[in-house]
């Protein structure tokens, strides 16, 4: 095992095979990108406060503060009162499994085929072009995902979830007050399950859809662009149920007081911007 204490901006390379990356920072931003070749590379562009500890143990690379552990990460408090900020970028092999934890910092993770786990407190997370399974747990940060083809699991307290071009085998998202906007082209047999207390849910699927739908809201409004589906309930709980196309994909959405909208994506050449549809 080798340790390196980083006290100022700089660039570092790591020879040899690498299959796991762990990052934990406070303030600033972290950017992780998968690459087809070359050694793993760390670039620290800003660093204020205590040093970062870079540890290489076998095939695992860790970049973190000494007093910031993964266990209990979402409840961490800076007992030393340090003012911290770190802006770092890492290039790692595409197959690397990644764990990223950020406090009041943004995270961008792209181009990986290994598993990805993100925990965030007051920081937004952006996920792009990931083919492996993804888990994201945030307190107040938003999660934005584009072109994901792996399984996606998201849990937020007040952060919003946006998914564009999602084609994985499943999406499971839970939130207290965050809204969810998903543009999906799910794989055959995919399972999509969305739950929020007060947030709104909007889902767009392509024609013909091929989905078995069960969506309900206790007191929110509903809208549905598929004539094949039944909208029921005049007072209290309202539901959208039925089958679109040949079915197969299971689509479930539940909110207590938020609205639910199920939208139809027209053929690509005629498709307007998703956000304009909303």
Q: What's the CA angle centered on 15, arms 12 and 18, to 5 degrees?
A: 100
DSSP-assigned letter for residue 186: P
Instruction: Say whether pLDDT at 277 is over 50.
Output: no
Integer Cα distance of 59 and 21 in angstroms? 9
Integer Cα distance of 187 and 164 in angstroms? 14
Asked if 84 contacts 50 with a C-beta cutoff of 8 angstroms, the reply is yes
225 preceded by cis ω (within 30°)?
A: no
Q: What's the CA angle centered on 56, arms 53 and 60, to 5 degrees?
A: 115
Asked if 231 contacts 240 with a C-beta cutoff of 8 angstroms, the reply is yes
Reading the block at residue 37, the tokens are 């070749």
Average pLDDT of the chain, as a whole number: 91
Asked if 133 contacts 114 with a C-beta cutoff of 8 angstroms, the reply is no
Mean pLDDT of 163-186: 94
pLDDT tier for residue 233 given thresholds of 50, 70 and 90: confident
DSSP-assigned letter for residue 104: S
Regarding pTM above 0.85, the answer is yes
Cα(first)–Cα(last) distance of the chain, in Å? 52
pLDDT tier for residue 37 given thresholds of 50, 70 and 90: confident
C-beta atoms surrounding 26 within 10 Å: 24
Q: Is 277 left (phi over 0), alpha (psi -120 to 50) or beta?
A: alpha
Which backbone phi and psi does 247 adopt, to 5 degrees?
A: 70, -160
3-state secondary structure of 259: coil
Instruction: Say whether pLDDT at 55 is over 70.
Output: yes
Reading the block at residue 221, the tokens are 């409004």
3-state secondary structure of 44: strand
Report domain extents, the chain.
1-123, 142-278
Residue 210 is predicted with a pLDDT of: 86
Integer Cα distance of 200 and 68 in angstroms? 34
């Amino acid at each position: 095992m080798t340790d390196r204490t980083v006290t100022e901006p700089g660039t570092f390379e790591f020879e040899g095979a690498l299959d796991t990356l762990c990052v934990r920072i406070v303030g600033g931003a972290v950017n992780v990108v998968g690459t087809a070749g070359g050694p793993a590379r760390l670039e620290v562009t800003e660093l204020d406060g205590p040093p970062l500890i870079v540890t290489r143990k076998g095939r695992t690379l860790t970049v973190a503060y000494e007093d910031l552990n993964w266990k209990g990460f979402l409840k961490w408090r800076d007992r030393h009162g340090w003012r911290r900020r770190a802006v770092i970028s890492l290039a790692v092999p595409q197959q690397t499994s990644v764990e990223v934890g950020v406090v009041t910092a943004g995270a961008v993770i792209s181009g990986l085929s290994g598993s990805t786990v993100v925990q965030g407190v007051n920081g937004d997370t952006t996920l792009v072009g990931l083919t492996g399974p993804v888990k994201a747990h945030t307190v107040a940060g938003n999660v934005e995902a584009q072109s994901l083809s792996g399984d996606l699991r998201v849990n937020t307290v007040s952060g919003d979830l946006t998914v564009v071009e999602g084609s994985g085998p499943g999406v499971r998202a839970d939130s207290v007050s965050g809204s969810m906007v998903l543009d999906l082209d799910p794989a055959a047999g995919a399972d999509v399950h969305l739950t929020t207390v007060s947030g709104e849910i909007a889902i767009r699927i392509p024609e013909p859809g091929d989905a078995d739908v069960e969506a309900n809201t206790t007191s929110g409004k509903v809208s549905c662009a598929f004539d094949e589906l039944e909208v029921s309930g005049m007072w209290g709980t309202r539901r959208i149920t039925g089958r679109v196309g040949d079915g197969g994909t299971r689509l479930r959405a539940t909110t207590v007081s938020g609205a639910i909208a199920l939208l139809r994506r027209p053929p690509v050449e005629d498709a307007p911007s998703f956000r304009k549809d909303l």
